């Protein structure tokens, strides 16, 4: 059964860049594009088009403002087509460079044609690994494109020749493969054959993204960390590697929902969790991904009414924020409280030759990474002393807010940015400002507090509506009943009073009315209050889950072509980030 019938690529202006038909007679791009754009944003990645003949399912992704569309008139697995579109975008980035631009596709049309023809054969997805594609597709070269542009023959046809048709590819081009005369093919599908490197290096980068939700009481409602293990292999031959992960609570009880690159031997992980045996692709790739519940399996039990409040799960994260609303006499003020964890104060490093990784050494370190807990020289953040960098507090505002007046930082450093009409306030603190603030309360150990305060202003007619409600109130000194010149009071019943004073019998009512007006203003300002606050930051040398690389070794018995006695240089980096992921709710 055919899975992919055609592929259409459009630029940021919805101008067609390429149309490649694999099988059948799918509707052209000029037909499916208006039907796709007719759906309101945000558009789903799968849209059913019943008005086409035959009815068609349209798959779509956006990559670097380029639109990838693939129509399919048959019943296929949706994830298969969507994954293919992502693989196409990744392959184009690998060959043409990132970011993926329309000019790059137009300037290297011959390479794009080869890639699309190799990735799908007659509608069936065949080869999508970038390393395997490099064995059969020649990467673009500036000199070759220049020679082809001036009419001098090159190894690949130029996109400027009349025979090239950049907007339609209905047949497979007959382009000679660069390794067609080479009988030696790689035994590993995801690795190129005859890989040679003058420098043998292995790098591991583990990045964990925080998603934390905190209740107004300060109790964490959810805390999830999504981890990605990026691996870079620049080793000659076919190396067989062993990567061992560890964490305080054990890998099997910490990591959930792991996903792996096809190069990982699943049996080794199943038998020994945390043990990954694999033959890596050449270059940089994503080795694995995982998810960690930072609250633990007993998090739901802690929300029971029988559990005491001090037994709630504790989180050790760099920064949290909370917000107090409806402050002030009219309830128009709010206050944001930013709390910094003193554990992430960091320290100034003292670099020495013994702490800097050297080429050919057995140590594993690349600036901030370590094995066994040893840290390496870095200007900011180490595994022994992580530090917060580039912290931003984001306060979203309701659409009815017209302005923020008296926005000020009452305690702590930073810059608060807001312009009338913006839908959010951003409070930024640089690494230097955070270090200075941390140094002031380094010995307390209770956390560092910074405060931001502001006043919301609603629509211009909000106060006018409140005054209009009071215009007919007889207790209002400016109401019509008291200012009517035809009203009079009999001298015999008049109560002596001063000019424009309110009768003593009406004084309690006037006070009551004043309280009602204050309550009314508070209700109107309450809908203008922010509903939450989020924090963004990055911390080098620290992971929320505590996962670390315990060892990275080369299996000499299984490896081929590495050379006897060669010890690759190894390095590890840890990075914990929050992209508005730590959220405090009102």
List beta partners, residue 421. Answer: none
Phi-psi region of 495 (alpha: psi -120 to 50; beta: other; left: phi over 0): beta
Fill in the DSSP letter of residue 112: H
CB 319 within 8 A of CB 339: yes
Q: What is the pLDDT of residues 128-185, one digit of tens each?
A: 888 788 878 877 654 345 444 444 444 443 333 333 333 444 433 333 444 444 445 5
Q: What is the pLDDT of residues 16-34, one digit of tens each?
A: 999 999 988 899 999 999 9
pLDDT attached to residue 485: 44
Q: What residue ranges define each of the domains in the chain, with the CATH number in brackets?
A: 6-149 (3.30.450.60), 201-314+544-576 (2.60.40.1170), 319-346+386-477+521-541 (2.60.40.1170)
The CA-atom distances, in angstroms, between 416 and each of 323, 427, 456 are 15, 4, 15
Q: How far apart are CA 66 and CA 103, in angstroms?
A: 11
Q: What's the number of CA atoms in the CB half-sphere (13 Å) around residue 157? A: 17
The dihedral built from the CA positions of residue 563, 569, 570 and 573, taken in this order, carries a sign that is negative
Q: What is the pLDDT of residues 324-370, one digit of tens each?
A: 999 988 889 999 999 998 888 776 444 444 333 333 333 454 543 44
| 468 pLDDT tier (thresholds 50, 70, 90) | very low
CB 212 within 8 A of CB 220: yes
pLDDT attached to residue 517: 75
Question: Does pTM top 0.75 for this prediction?
Answer: no
Q: How far apart are CA 149 and CA 78, in angstroms?
A: 41
Q: What is the mean pLDDT of the chain?
A: 78
Q: How far apart are CA 155 and CA 161, in angstroms?
A: 14
| 275 pLDDT tier (thresholds 50, 70, 90) | very high
Which helix H or strand E contains 481, and what residues bound it? Answer: helix 480-483
CA-closest candidate to residue 355, choices 336, 376, 335: 376
Q: What is the pLDDT of residues 207-232, one digit of tens each?
A: 999 999 999 888 898 999 999 999 99
**Greater model confidence, 346 or 260:** 260
The CA-atom distances, in angstroms, between 81 and each of 52, 87, 133, 262 are 19, 10, 19, 18
pLDDT attached to residue 273: 93
The H helix count followed by the E strand count for the chain is 12, 23
What percentage of the chain carries pLDDT values higher than 90?
A: 41
| 44 pLDDT tier (thresholds 50, 70, 90) | very high
Burial class (CB in 10 A: 0-12, 13-18, 19+), 182: exposed
User: Residue 119: CB partners within 8 Å, gap ≥ 6?
Assistant: 84, 87, 88, 91, 125, 126, 127, 128, 133
Q: What is the pLDDT of residues 502-534, one digit of tens each?
A: 455 545 555 555 567 778 888 888 888 999 999
pLDDT attached to residue 2: 60
| 71 pLDDT tier (thresholds 50, 70, 90) | very high
pLDDT attached to residue 185: 57
pLDDT attached to residue 299: 60
CB 46 within 8 A of CB 59: yes
Q: What is the pLDDT of residues 92-113, one digit of tens each?
A: 998 898 889 999 999 898 899 9
| 276 pLDDT tier (thresholds 50, 70, 90) | very high
Average confidence (pLDDT) over 468-473: 47
Q: Helices (DSSP H) in 78-124: which residue ranges?
A: 78-96, 102-107, 109-119
Q: What are the φ/ψ torsions at residue 367 (nearest 5 degrees)?
A: 85, -65
pLDDT attached to residue 207: 96
User: Is 234's pLDDT higher than 80?
Assistant: yes
Q: In 11-45, which ranges are E strands?
A: 16-21
pLDDT attached to residue 556: 85
Q: What's the number of CA atoms in the CB half-sphere (13 Å) around residue 306? A: 2
List beta partners, residue 260. Answer: 288
Q: How many residues does the chain have?
A: 586
pLDDT attached to residue 310: 53
pLDDT attached to residue 345: 78
pLDDT attached to residue 255: 92
**Greater model confidence, 314 or 213:** 213
Q: What is the pLDDT of residues 389-408, one digit of tens each?
A: 889 999 999 988 989 988 99
Q: How far apart are CA 345 and CA 368, in angstroms?
A: 15
Cβ atoms within 10 A of the Cβ of 362, count? Answer: 11
Q: How far apart are CA 131 and CA 127, in angstroms?
A: 10
């Amino acid at each position: 059964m055919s899975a992919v019938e055609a592929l259409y690529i459009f630029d940021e202006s919805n101008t067609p860049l390429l149309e490649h038909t694999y099988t059948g007679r799918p509707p052209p791009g000029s037909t499916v594009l208006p039907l796709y754009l007719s759906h309101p944003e945000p558009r789903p990645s799968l849209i059913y088009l019943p008005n086409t003949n035959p009815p068609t399912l349209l798959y779509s992704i956006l990559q670097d403002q380029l639109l990838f569309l693939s129509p399919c008139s048959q019943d296929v697995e949706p994830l298969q087509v969507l994954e293919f579109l992502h693989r196409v975008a990744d392959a184009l980035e690998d060959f043409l460079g990132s970011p993926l631009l329309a000019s790059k596709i137009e300037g290297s049309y011959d390479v794009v044609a080869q890639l699309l023809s190799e990735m799908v054969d007659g509608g069936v997805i065949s080869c999508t690994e970038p390393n395997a594609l490099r064995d059969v597709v020649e990467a673009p070269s500036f000199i070759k494109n220049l020679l082809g542009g001036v009419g001098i023959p090159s190894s690949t046809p130029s996109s400027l020749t009349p025979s090239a048709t950049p907007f339609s590819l209905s047949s497979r081009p007959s382009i000679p493969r660069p390794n067609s005369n080479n009988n030696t093919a790689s035994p590993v599908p995801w690795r190129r054959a005859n890989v040679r490197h003058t420098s043998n290096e292995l790098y591991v980068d583990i990045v964990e993204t925080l998603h934390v939700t905190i209740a107004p009481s300060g109790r964490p409602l959810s805390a999830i960390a999504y981890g990605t293990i990026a691996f870079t292999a620049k080793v000659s031959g076919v190396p067989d590697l062993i990567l061992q992960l560890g964490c305080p609570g054990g890998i099997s009880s910490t990591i959930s929902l792991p996903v792996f690159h096809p190069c990982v031997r699943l049996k080794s992980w199943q038998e020994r969790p945390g043990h990954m045996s694999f033959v890596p692709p050449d270059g940089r790739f994503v080795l694995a991904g995982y998810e960690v519940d930072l609250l633990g399996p007993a998090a739901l039990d802690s929300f029971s009414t029988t559990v005491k409040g001090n037994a709630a799960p504790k989180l050790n994260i760099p920064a949290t924020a909370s917000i107090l609303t409806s402050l002030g006499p009219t309830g128009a003020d709010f206050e944001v409280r930013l709390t910094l964890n003193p554990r992430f104060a960091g320290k100034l490093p003292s670099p020495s030759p013994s702490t800097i990784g050297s080429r050919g050494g057995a140590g594993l370190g690349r600036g901030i990474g370590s094995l066994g807990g040893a840290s390496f020289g870095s200007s900011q953040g180490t595994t022994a002393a992580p530090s917060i960098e580039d912290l931003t507090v984001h306060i979203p505002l309701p659409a009815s807010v017209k302005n923020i007046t008296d926005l000020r930082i009452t305690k702590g450093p930073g810059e608060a940015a807001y312009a009338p009409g913006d839908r959010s306030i951003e409070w930024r603190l640089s690494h230097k400002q955070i270090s200075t603030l941390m140094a002031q309360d380094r010995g307390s150990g209770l956390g560092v507090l910074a405060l931001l305060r502001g006043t919301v202003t609603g629509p211009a007619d909000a106060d006018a509506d409140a005054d209009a409600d009071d215009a007919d109130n007889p207790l209002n000194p400016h109401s019509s009943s008291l200012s009517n010149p035809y009203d009079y009071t009999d001298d015999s019943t008049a109560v002596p009073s001063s000019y424009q004073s309110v009768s003593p019998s009406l004084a309690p009512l006037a006070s009551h009315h004043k309280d009602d007006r204050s309550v009314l203003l508070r209700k109107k300002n309450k809908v203008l209050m922010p509903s939450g606050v989020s924090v963004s930051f990055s911390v080098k040398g620290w992971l929320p889950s505590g996962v670390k690389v315990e060892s990275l070794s080369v299996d000499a018995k299984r490896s081929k072509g590495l050379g006897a006695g060669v010890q690759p240089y190894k390095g590890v980096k840890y990075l914990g980030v929050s992209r508005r992921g730590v959220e405090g709710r009102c």
